[in-house]
């Protein structure tokens, strides 16, 4: 399985329109997103692509692990990120999002994934993609992993 990591941020007049702009920047705005939990199938290829360039039809279903956060506090720093690890047994994603710095988001991912690995007795290199944004009026940050068939 191929899993693409995409991300975006957006400002809008409503939190929903800010979310839509973040999805637009990530290239997944015209799809129905079905959220998944945190398991990566064995032998998957996870790749950071930034923006999805999909040939799917408008309205098609995309299965995603998603971290998304909206905020309407001007000047607030918001972050969203996905961390992942792949091992011989399989892999895991973890999401982090909130009103905090990129560094705090990264630390939450690192701590959470480390604990998840330890509970399974797995070892692997932690990777992550985190984005942050200073809110102007109403904003959203989103990072998503799109599960695609090879």
Q: What domains lie within the chain, and their CATH numbers?
A: 2-148 (3.50.20.10)
Residue where the block lists tokens 């975006």: 8
Rounded CA-CA distance 20/89 in Å is 36
Determine contact, residues 48/5, Cβ cutoff 8 Å.
Answer: yes
Residue 150 scores a pLDDT above 60: no
pLDDT 10s digits, 59-69: 999 999 999 99
pLDDT 10s digits, 43-88: 999 999 999 998 889 999 999 999 999 999 999 999 999 999 999 9
pLDDT 10s digits, 98-144: 999 999 999 999 999 999 999 999 999 999 999 999 999 999 999 99
Rounded CA-CA distance 49/56 in Å is 17
Which stretches within 1-142 are classed as H helix? 15-26, 102-120
Dihedrals phi, psi of 83, to nearest 5 degrees: -115, 150
- Computed over every residue of the chain, the mean pLDDT equals 96
Tell me the average pLDDT across 93-100. Answer: 98
């Amino acid at each position: 399985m191929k899993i693409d990591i995409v991300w975006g941020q957006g400002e809008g007049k409503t939190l929903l329109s800010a979310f839509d702009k973040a999805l637009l920047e990530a290239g997944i705005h015209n799809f129905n997103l079905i959220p998944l939990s945190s398991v990566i199938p064995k032998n998957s290829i996870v790749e950071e692509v930034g923006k999805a360039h999909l040939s799917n039809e408008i309205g098609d279903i995309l299965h995603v692990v998603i971290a998304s956060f909206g905020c309407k506090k001007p000047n607030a720093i918001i972050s969203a990120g996905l961390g992942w690890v792949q091992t011989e047994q399989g892999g895991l994603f973890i999401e982090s999002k909130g009103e905090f710095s990129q560094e705090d988001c990264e630390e939450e991912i690192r701590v959470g994934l480390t604990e998840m690995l330890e509970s399974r007795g797995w070892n692997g290199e932690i990777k992550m993609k985190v984005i942050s944004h200073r809110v102007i009026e109403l904003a959203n940050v989103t990072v998503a992993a799109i599960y695609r068939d090879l």
